[in-house]
Structure 1
Amino acid sequence: MRVAVLGATGPTGKQVVEEALERGHDVIALVRNPNGLKELQNDKLQVQKANIFEEKDLSTHLTGCDAVLSCLGTQPGFLGWSKITFYEDSIKPITVAMRLANIRRLVCMTSQCAKRTDGEPKIVTYFIRPLFFGNALKSMSAMETYLETECKDLEYTVVKPSELADKPSSGKPVTAVEGQWVPNGTLKIARRDVTKFMVDCIGNSDWLKKFVALDMTP
């Protein structure tokens, strides 16, 4: 399979690229700075400079791909006070470019509890949302709403991990739950376990048009 990876120079995106290559996929990493992936050398990897906000330019890079994997993200700002619109602003040109390139499959990443729901973990309601990541979560929520309402023609899966940990894969299947959060979860998951799940998704139809919360399996 030929896949395009957005956000490929970030800590999660790099692992998506590595995981996809290990499984034998042809990978096009679309980045702002190609030097960010110069340490990865593989005959199946192409690193191309692209602007995710330029629909026509992006579509030329996507042409011929079977799926798009996106790990795009942005900093939450000082104590979460900065206005953030990155997630809804970026998903719009990406989905337009996908249509221009005749691609339907999208696997992308937001976060657990992007949308407010009854019963969400109290640490999110009273600490994380108001003090640190509220504006980022609000932008992720707008992105999810856009996919749900404006992208019915696309086969998207939104992967929603808990806090990402920089440690090796657990070697276990992750706990995956449709919805905004995993009840009684650990609230921490290895990046590699998330990337394994994302790459799994492009080869099956288990989570089409779903929002999937991920956590470590106890």
Structure 2
Amino acid sequence: MTTLVLGASGATGKQLVEQLLIKKSNIKIIVRDINKIPNSWKSNNNIVVIEASVLQLNNEEINKIVSGCNAVASCIGHNLSWKGVYGQPRKLVTDAVRLICNAIKENAPNNSIKFVLMNTAGNRNRDLKEPLSFKHRLVVSLLRLLLPPHVDNEAAADYLRTEIGQNNSFIEWVAVRPDNLTNSDNVSKYEIYPSPIRDAIFDAGKTSRINVAHFMANLITDDKAWAKWKGQMPVIYNSLSE
């Protein structure tokens, strides 16, 4: 199995690559700066490193990269800087998801490709009509006006949910929704729910990045896990017992 990982140089992306290596997967990564990845990856025969900005690749290039991949995982996010939040591209995540999905469809693989998107518990799954309090909806409305990355995260998940849908011939998908992200060196117990069990704004839970990576890697490599969650937007929390 070969997995293309987008955002591999980021905090969660690095953890995902390591989790996939534990599972003996072959990996392709697209990174803008090769100096931001561990040196051990550069000499690892299980990793193919492509130094590029994904949105600057032309159709022929991206189609070639995607060819031969059984899965794609996106951990792309906006840098927490003024330029990263308010500069271009405003739809970094959505445009990358669309670009990869278009490449998959153009390649017309014989078997469906798994697409795992790292999203956020602050984004509602509209397929399930998840209830939100008035104050939550008010804050989300403000976030849409003030924080372009939030709009981007919503649009990326909505693209998979509505444009790819549940019956695409070439693509199956899962959008993983962690709550407040934390750092940890080790995988711990975590819980997965179809919808949030806490208010992501006023009663946020915690989710370690390594747990997100572990769950994403399981989705990619475990067919039972994939069958359970495909076409859904599961929410992941660290177990309260931890």
Q: Which TM-score bucket, shorter chain as reference?
A: 0.7 to 0.9
When structure 1 is superposed on structure 2, of 34-43 and 126-135 the one drifting more is: 126-135
Query: Compared with structure 1, are the counterparts of its residues 59 and 113 closer, same or farther at alpha carbon in structure 2 (3 Å cutoff)?
Result: same
Residue identity in the other structure for 1:160: R
Alignment of 1:1-218 (within 5 A): 1-41=1-41, 42-53=44-55, 54=57, 55-75=59-79, 78=82, 82=86, 84-101=90-107, 102=109, 104-115=113-124, 117-119=130-132, 130=142, 134-152=147-165, 153=168, 154-172=171-189, 174-179=190-195, 181-183=196-198, 187-202=205-220, 203-204=222-223, 205-218=227-240
Distance 1:156 1:195 in 2: 16
Distance 1:11 1:3 in 2: 18
Aligned partner of residue 21 in structure 1, secondary structure: helix
Aligned partner of residue 206 in structure 1, secondary structure: helix
Distance 1:119 1:35 in 2: 42
CA contact (8 A) 1:186 1:216 kept: no
Residue identity in the other structure for 1:177: Y
Residue identity in the other structure for 1:175: E
Aligned partner of residue 234 in structure 2, secondary structure: strand
Q: TM-score, normalised by structure 1?
A: 0.85
Aligned partner of residue 164 in structure 1, secondary structure: strand
1:58-108 per-residue CA deviation (whole Å, 9 max, x = no partner) reads 121121111111101113665x98373222222211211122343621011
CA RMSD of aligned residues (A): 2.8
Aligned partner of residue 210 in structure 1, secondary structure: coil
The gaps in structure 1 that reach 5 residues or longer are none
Distance 1:71 1:12 in 2: 7
Aligned partner of residue 152 in structure 2, secondary structure: helix
Distance 1:12 1:213 in 2: 16
Aligned partner of residue 8 in structure 2, secondary structure: coil
Residue identity in the other structure for 2:23: R
Higher helix fraction (1 or 2)? 2
Aligned partner of residue 64 in structure 1, secondary structure: coil
Query: Compared with structure 1, are the counterparts of its residues 76 and 182 closer, same or farther at alpha carbon in structure 2 (3 Å cutoff)?
Result: farther
Residue identity in the other structure for 1:17: V
Distance 1:69 1:208 in 2: 13
The gaps in structure 2 that reach 5 residues or longer are none
Q: TM-score, normalised by structure 2?
A: 0.77
Distance 2:8 2:103 in 1: 18
Distance 2:188 2:210 in 1: 9
1:37 is displaced (CA, Å) by 1.8
